[in-house]
Amino acid sequence: MTEFYRSYLAVAVLILAAIGMVGFMLGLGRLIRPVRAQEQKYIPYEAGSDPTGTFGQSNVRYYVFALLFVIFDVEAVFIFPWAVNLESLGWFGLVEMTIFVVVLTLGLVYAWRKGVLRWA
């Protein structure tokens, strides 16, 4: 085994340990817990009342919010290192980041005008 592969040995050990630990905990739970199958336990939870219609476990309308969240999450990932190094980057960095934020804002304006943010 070369040095290159040996350096990844720790990763392999960690993967095995993770699988072993999760398997142990789930397996132990399965062994000692009582199992009483009831039909009600297998329907989606809707605040205690019986679910109506074809409502699944989550509403598809959350998807748009999730998408918008991801966009601004990624924006934050870009902005943090930029903000820390703003002095070093100088005007170049400021202009670049302004363009980036403006383009993203335009996307938000578009989504807003399209009524994506209204819970219809």
Partner 1 sequence: MIAAAPIATPAVDLWAIAPIIALVATGVGLVLIRALLRRNQAVTPVCFSVAVVGLLVAAGLLARQWHRVRDDGPIVSLADMVRVDPFAVFLGIVIVAATLAGLLLAYAYLRREDLEAPEYFALLLLSAAGMLMMTTANDLVVVFVALEVLSIPLYVLVAFDRRRLRSQEAGLKYFVLGAFSSAVFLYGIALVYGATGTTSLSGIATFLAGNTLFEQTTLLVGLGLLLVGLGFKVAAVPFHMWTPDVYQGAPTPVTAFMAAATKAAAFAAVLRIVLTAFPQYRDDWRPILWVLAALSMLVGAVAALVQNDVKRTLAYSSIAHAGYILMGVYAASSRGREAALLYLLVYAFMAIGAFAVVMIAAPGPDDAKHSYDDYRGLAVRRPVLGGLLIFFVLAQAGVPLTSGFVGKLELFGSVAQAGETSDYVLLVIGVLSAVIAFAFYLRIAWTLVTAPDDDTAVAAAYSTRPRRVDGWTGIVLAGAAALTLVVGVLPGTFIHFARDAVFF
Q: Which residues bind partner 1 (CB under 8 A)?
A: 85, 87-90, 92-93, 103, 106-107, 109-110, 112-114
Contacts 24+ apart (CB under 8 A), 5-14: none
By C-beta, is 8 or 55 nearer to partner 1? Answer: 8
Give the tokens for residue 12: 């392999």
Separation of alpha carbons 119 and 29, rounded Å = 41
By C-beta, is 58 or 85 nearer to partner 1? Answer: 85
Please state the closest distance from residue 59 (CB atom) to partner 1, in A.
20
By C-beta, is 26 or 99 nearer to partner 1? Answer: 99
Judge whether 53 and 66 are in contact, CB under 8 Å. Answer: no
